[in-house]
Chains A and B, each alone.
Chain A
Amino acid sequence: MSEIIRMVVVLSVIAGFSAAALTTANIQLGPRVDAQIDLYVRGPALERLFHKPAKDVLGNKVVIDVDGVGIPVFYTLQDKVVSTLAIEAIGKGGFGGDLKLMVGIDLIKERQTGIEVVSHSETPGLGARIVEIAFRRQWQGLPIDTPVALTADGGAIDAISGASTTSRAAVNGTNSALDFVRERKAEILKLIAER
């Protein structure tokens, strides 16, 4: 019996120490990790959406809580009025998993400014062609009050040939972002104004 007790004690103590060490590391480095994620993951997409260097935009961030999940929203100000929003959206149902998109919305013109792919794990040569500008350009100038759809479903977006699943995921992601903006616009603007 004493052997079991010793086993339990040693293992528990080691686990405790490990947890303590890790927590310390996490507390010390956590903010830096978050900043790095913004810089490298969202940065390039934001640069293209806003046509500004990433570090100018990264600071303009609010996080909206939806059902316990924080959705980051970036914005730019034009004459102290919020002109463009970039909303992170999840495009569900990609072939290799969900897509992570950044949907740009011009609040003044009430038009979409385009979508950017933050991360994906689609098949190279097929679904991965989602990053190509020819596909994504189709979003530019679309209205923000009607959901987008693939031509096959009666919409305006031509799917990537051979990768309609991926294309549809991008469309879904966009629509979820549009819904989000429609429902939470006031909340977003309020948060931005508070800063």
Chain B
Amino acid sequence: MQQKFTDVLTAGLWKRIPPFRLVLGLCPSLAVTMSAENGLGMGLATAFVVTLSNGAISSLRNVIPAKVRIASYIVVIATLVSIVEILMKAFFFPLSEQLGIYIPLIVVNCIVLGRAEAFASKNPPFISMVDGFSVGVGYAISLTLIGSLREIFGAGTWFGHLVFGEAFEPMSFLVSAPGAFMTIGTLLALQNLFSRWRGEKFIQG
């Protein structure tokens, strides 16, 4: 049990860290990572949803008939997402404006549904929540990383603070759409390189 707990907890942080190991949830990774702050906010919102939805779905897993499995999961997830939406609006309004429709779109983020299906529907609530938490936090870390890179090099700031001083001419294409694709592409390549260097058998292609 202890072993499994640690395994599950750490899995999301490296073994299946989205969106790199688990190439899922790319849309928000691309869309909202203009800055480290946005990335972190989005990541935490997703982490919140995935943790609670894993818990809820795991508790309900024996009640829900197979035919309406996905539909029920979607309803549960959508509810949680709506709550997050309201919470963000009430307490972090500027952030919620920045993230815009990507907050409600957490509903269709494959990570949430994916973890619900792959893990929560087969495991008891507590461990499912641990799994959701782990993957969610992993996702938040990734998004913050992507956001940081794009913000530092694309705008010369990090969480709004100047990094390079005034003289730095930021590569502003990084904060727009093309930069998003390229940053993640490059990070993915680095991760592949690392996996290859470590000699892992399964390489995500």
Contact = CB atoms under 8 A, between A and B. Distances in A.
Direct interface between A and B, CB < 8 A = yes
B65 A10 contact: yes
Interface of B: 60, 63-65, 67-68, 71-72, 75-76, 78-79, 82-83, 86-87, 89-91, 93-94, 97
A40 B64 contact: no
Contacts, number: 58
B64 to A, nearest CB: 6
**Central interface residue in A6, A18, A29, A30, by most chain B CB within 10 Å:** A18
Contacts of A41: 97
B64 A21 contact: no
Contact of B83 (A6, A7, A22, A30): A22
Given A3-B67, A10-B65, A41-B97, A15 B90 contact: no
B97 to A, nearest CB: 7
Interface of A: 3, 6-7, 10-11, 14-15, 18, 21-22, 25-26, 29-30, 32-33, 36-37, 39-41
B13 to A, nearest CB: 30
Nearest to A19: B79
9 contacts: A3-B67, A7-B65, A14-B64, A14-B76, A15-B75, A25-B87, A29-B89, A32-B91, A33-B89
Contact of A14 (B67, B72, B91, B93): B72
Nearest to B71: A11
